[in-house]
Amino acid sequence: MTFRMEADGLEWLFIPLHQIVSWGASGAMVFGGVVPYIPQYRDIKRTQNAEGFSTYVCLVLLVANILRILFWFGRHFESPLLWQSIVMIFTMLLMLKLCTEVRVTNELNLKRRSFADFDLHYFWHWSKFTDYVQCVLTFTGVTGYITYLSLDSALFVETLGFLAVFTEAMLGVPQLYRNYQNRSTEGMSIKMVLMWTSGDTFKTVYFILNQAPFQFSICGLLQVLVDMAILLQVYLYTYYPQKPASHAAHPVSAKAL
């Protein structure tokens, strides 16, 4: 009887504590993905040099998160995951705006290119931020319309969800391949890779515990495997170098930045 009374007495403490932990995890999911890009944004703004940052990272994340939002209309999932996509889209647009302004300022003789040129050779290498916005809005409009027409198809909705998370999961593969080609990881931020790994691990555990759609969990595990493969490359190429380090310097990873 006394034990039950003590348990009832502690219940008032455990329930709010559980709620706080839940809010903390949700907050980490919403904002954790953009944290690695904050120092990069500040560095570009400070140095007025965006050469080390690949705007294709923005392209991949914009596509992935737009598709994820559209997937939500066909199959609702955890609200923090939806807000995470919205926050990431705004973050990538801010990164694009800064990179475009810095690049145009530094290359005064650069020939102006626009989205309206429809020149595939200069796709995603336009001179104005508004061109990127036009491209994003066009992609959103087309995919949104197709999704609206196909919401009754379970196969389409599940495929859309898979494409959304698979696109994001592949973000580290170019770095993995670059390291393999160069037989070196010099110039790549190891701290950043560790940040990917911890973030992707947390995200995957969150997916599993909150019973998110299976596409999220599978691709989250894939992201962790890619991160671990890159860490393995760091170990192998550091302790078993396959070519002189003086020839291995390369720009920092697109994903890391």
Nearest to 220 by CA among 199, 238, 240, 236: 199
CATH number for 171-239: choose from 1.20.1280, 1.10.287, 2.50.20, 3.30.70: 1.20.1280
At residue 83, what is the residue type? W
Cα 44 from Cα 102, distance rounded (Å):
8
Which is higher by pLDDT, 121 or 23? Answer: 121
| More reliable by pLDDT, 112 or 99 | 99
Task: Kindly indicate the confidence band of residue 21, based on its pLDDT and cuts at 50, 70 and 90.
Answer: low
Among 179, 162, 160, CA closest to 226: 179
Report the 10 Å Cβ neighbour count for 105: 11
Q: pLDDT: is 20 or 47 the higher one?
A: 47
Query: Which residue did the predictor score with more confidence, 52 or 31?
Result: 31
190-209 and 214-239 helices, crossing angle to 10°:
160
Report the alpha-carbon distance of residue 161 to residue 156 in Å, rounded: 9
CA distance 18 to 6: 18
Please write the tens of the pLDDT for every residue from 102-145. Answer: 988 887 666 788 888 888 888 998 989 999 999 999 999 999 99
**Cβ(83)–Cβ(30) below 8 Å:** yes
Predicted local confidence at residue 3, as pLDDT: 46
3-state DSSP call for residue 128? coil
pLDDT at 11: 58
CA angle centred on 96, ends 115 and 87, rounded to 5°: 115
Domain extents in the chain? 7-156, 171-239
Q: pLDDT value at position 111?
A: 75
Which pLDDT tens digit goes with each residue over 200-243?
888 888 888 877 777 788 888 888 998 899 889 888 888 888 75
pTM of the prediction?
A: 0.74
Q: Which residue has the tokens 């990272």?
A: 57
Note whether 87 and 197 are within 8 A (CB). no
Given a cut of 50, whether residue 250 has pLDDT beyond it is no
Q: Which SS3 state, helix, strand or coil, does residue 228 take?
A: helix
Q: What are the residues whose beta carbons fall under 8 Å from the beta carbon of 166, sequence distance 6 or more?
A: 215, 219, 222
What is the reported pLDDT for 253? Answer: 46
Q: Which string of DSSP letters, residue by residue, matches 52-99?
A: TS-THHHHHHHHHHHHHHHHHHHS---HHHHHHHHHHHHHHHHHHHHH
pLDDT (0 to 100) of residue 44 = 82
Query: What are 140-191's pLDDT values in tens digits?
Result: 999 999 999 999 999 999 899 889 888 888 877 777 877 788 788 775 667 7
| Tokens linked to 19 | 């709620």
